[in-house]
């Protein structure tokens, strides 16, 4: 009986590996249109976040373009931004949204040849630490990014699994 259970577990692992390989192959076959759309969405998100930062800087009476602000000053401004950032409706951002805003700002600075990485460089450690603390605080207060849940299998998919004897009391198929 123990060997049978082990065989079933091995079969399950092999099936999962097969599904992962199929998913990876499908991802590699992404069409050029999908790729271009994805890049457009990234560009749109970056522009939106940069616009938000420019508005916030203006509200702080900072009139320089942020890619012209020296790193030490920019770090302090980002600290204030991450500590006080609110959505248009006055609510808090989701924790991962703040991180993605940081990524958008970083992308924009890279495009402007700022030659500094907000996420990795020590000049921005203070703002990175504040951002991580803010995200932790938001999570503790119940703010969470919505996770996509797995869709249940359809009856047809379950029937296929039985037909192929991945489910049920039939012989166990082992993939080699």
Least confident range of 29-33, 51-55, 62-66: 29-33
3-state secondary structure of 101: helix
Kindly give, in sequence order, each residue whose CB lies less than 8 Å from that of residue 36, ignoring residues fewer than 6 positions away.
none
DSSP one-letter string for 115-146: ---TTT-GGGHHHHHHHHHHHHHHHHTT--PP
Range of the domain at 59: 33-148
C-alpha distance across the termini of the chain, in Å: 22
Share of the chain above pLDDT 70, in %: 82
pLDDT tens profile 61-97: 999 998 899 999 999 999 999 999 888 898 998 999 9
Reported as half-sphere exposure (CB side, CA atoms, 13 A), residue 94 has a value of: 7
98 found inside a domain: yes
User: How many distinct structural domains can be found in the chain?
Assistant: 1
pTM across the whole model: 0.61
14 found inside a domain: no
154 found inside a domain: no
pLDDT tens profile 39-48: 788 889 999 9
């Amino acid at each position: 009986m123990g060997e049978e259970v082990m065989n079933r577990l091995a079969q399950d692992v092999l099936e999962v590996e097969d599904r992962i390989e199929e998913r990876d192959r499908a991802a590699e076959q992404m069409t050029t249109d999908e790729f271009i759309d994805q890049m457009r969405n990234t560009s749109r998100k970056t522009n939106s976040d940069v616009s938000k930062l420019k508005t916030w800087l203006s509200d702080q009476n900072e009139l320089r373009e942020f890619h012209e602000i020296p790193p030490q000053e920019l770090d302090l401004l980002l600290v204030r931004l991450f500590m006080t950032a609110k959505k248009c409706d006055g609510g808090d951002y989701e924790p991962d949204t703040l991180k993605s805003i940081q990524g958008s700002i970083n992308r924009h600075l890279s495009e402007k040849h700022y030659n500094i990485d907000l996420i990795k460089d020590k000049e921005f450690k203070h703002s990175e630490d504040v951002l991580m603390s803010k995200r932790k605080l938001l999570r503790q207060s119940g703010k969470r990014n919505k996770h996509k849940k797995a869709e249940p299998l359809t009856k047809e998919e379950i029937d296929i699994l039985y037909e192929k004897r991945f489910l049920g009391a039939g012989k166990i198929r082992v993939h080699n």
